[in-house]
Amino acid sequence: MQILKGYGDFEILTPEEFLKSQNLIIERAGRTCYQSQRGGITKESAERFIAMLIDRGHLSVLEHSILSVKFINCSRGFTHELVRHRLASFSQESTRYVDESNTSFVVPPHRDEKEQIPLDNGQSLSLEQMLSESERYYRALRKHGWPPEDARQILPIAIKAEIVITANFREWRHIFESRTQRAAHWEIREVMCKLLETIKTLVPAVFDDFVLAGKDNNGIPYYKME
């Protein structure tokens, strides 16, 4: 068993050059709406055009885009929240077919996983011990012949999971708005804030209106849209 604390990360699967070039597609698509086609669309003209679209709330034009991201070392709780964003495509690690006998668990960075927690029988266990016990029970079921899809019923949502999400820029803006604000869960907020910072350097015209608003008591940042 491995304890993961602050290991949540991502890998951008969309090639960087294609990611940056999509601004030009957005301008060309948007100019169809206004019948203002022009030759010589440039990086600068596309950035100005996108800023105009966002300012006017004409966000549907941003849907002529695509961004695929793989999330790693995150919990099943993280993926449960992420798949609620319905205007996207997901490919998730399966607990029906993947054996979790030697898994990893994601724990809150602001909690001591070795702290003893009193139980109602007078004994105490740490979070680390509780997770270890769930893994031990899972192994017992597997050794007894239970397939992963049955044995997984004993697993907590803290188990490590991987997931790939593909969505257009408009939906990513919605994801970032929901998952980087202070009220968002600490795990998804921490990972999404790191992703947002990276995406802002790659496609600033689309995401530069997200600004750092502060950090919570645990040092995890949060953002807001200006």
Catalytic residue (one of 76, 152, 173, 179): 179
Burial of 217 (0-12, 13-18, 19+ CB in 10 A): exposed
- Name the CA radius of gyration of the chain, rounded: 21
Dihedral sign of CA atoms 33, 35, 39, 41 in order:
negative
Q: Please indicate whether residue 136 is annotated as part of the active site.
A: no
Residues acting as catalytic residues: 179
